Amino acid sequence: MDRFLEGKTALVTGASRGLGRAIAEDLAALGALVAINYASNDDAARETLAAIESKGGKAFLIKNAQGSYEAAEELTAALDRELMARTGNTALDILVNNAGGGPVANIDATTPELFEQIFSDNLRGPFYVTKLLKSRLRAGGRVIFVSSLGARTALPDYVVYAISKRAVETFTVVMAKELGPNNITVNCISPGLIASDANADIRADEGTRTYLEQSTPLRRLGVPSDLSGVVVSLVSPNMGYVTGQIIEVTGGMSL
C-alpha cells in the first residue's frame, strides 16, 4: 500500500476499539503518526497501539474522555506535548471525530441527565475538539466527523441520539465553509450497522441479523474496514475537491 500519509499527523478520537481502531490502524499503515484518543479502556488502547507498532506504524496514546470544553482543552494540551516531542511542532493534518455513542431511549424515557449525556458524547465532544484544533490544521488537511444512519431514519427509540447526530451533520457543512478557504476539507461519514462491540447483542440474534442483512442490497452487514476504507479515501491526495458531504456507509440500507 502506498504510504501517502508519510510525514502527516492524525488524531482519531475513540480509537481504542471498533471503528476507531480500524481507522487508526489504516492511517498508521499509510504512514501517518496517529494519536489514539480513548476514554477509559487501557488494555484495548494498548492493544491498538501494539497492533500498529507491530506493523511498523507510529502512534501514541492520549487517555481523555471527551464531552466538555475542559476535556477538549486537556486533549489539546496533551496532543501539543506529544506532537512537539515527536515532530518539533504542533501541526495536525487529519482530525477524525469518531468518539460518540451513548444509550438510546424514547422521549418518555429520556431524563434530563440522559439528554445531557448523549449530547455531550455526540456533539459537545467533537464541537469543542474541532474548535480548539482547527487552528493547528495545515493546508491540505482533512476533518472527518462520524454520524449515523439513525440521524435520518427518525426511530422514536433513538430520539436524542438522532438529534445529536443530525446536528453533527449540520456542523460538518458549516465547518466545510469555514475551513475551505484554508484548503481543508470537512466531510461526515454516516454508517449503518457496522459490526462492533456496541451492537454485538443485535448481531447475536439470528432473526434480527437476517432481517438486517436482507434490508441491504448487498445482503450483508458492514465490517470496520468498510468504514475505515472511506476514511482512507477521504484523506487521499485525490479527494481534495470533496467537502461538506454526508457519505453513507450502509450497504444501501436507506435506499
pLDDT at 176 over 80: yes
Residue 146 has pLDDT above 90, yes or no: yes
Q: How confident is the model at residue 1 (pLDDT cuts 50, 70, 90)?
A: low
Give, in order, the Cα–Cα distances in Å from 206 to each of 157, 165, 201, 215, 247: 22, 28, 10, 14, 29
pLDDT tens for 51-72 read: 999 999 999 999 999 899 999 9
As a whole number, the mean pLDDT across the chain is 92
Q: What are phi and psi of 155, to 5 degrees?
A: -80, 125
Catalytic amino acids?
Answer: 161
pLDDT digits (tens, 9 = 90+) for 65-102: 989 999 999 999 999 999 999 999 999 999 999 998 87
Beta strands in the chain (DSSP E): 9-12, 33-38, 58-63, 92-97, 137-146, 185-191, 246-249
β-bridge mates for residue 142, sequence order: 94, 185
What domains are there in the chain, each with its CATH number? 9-249 (3.40.50.720)
The pLDDT value given to residue 207: 81
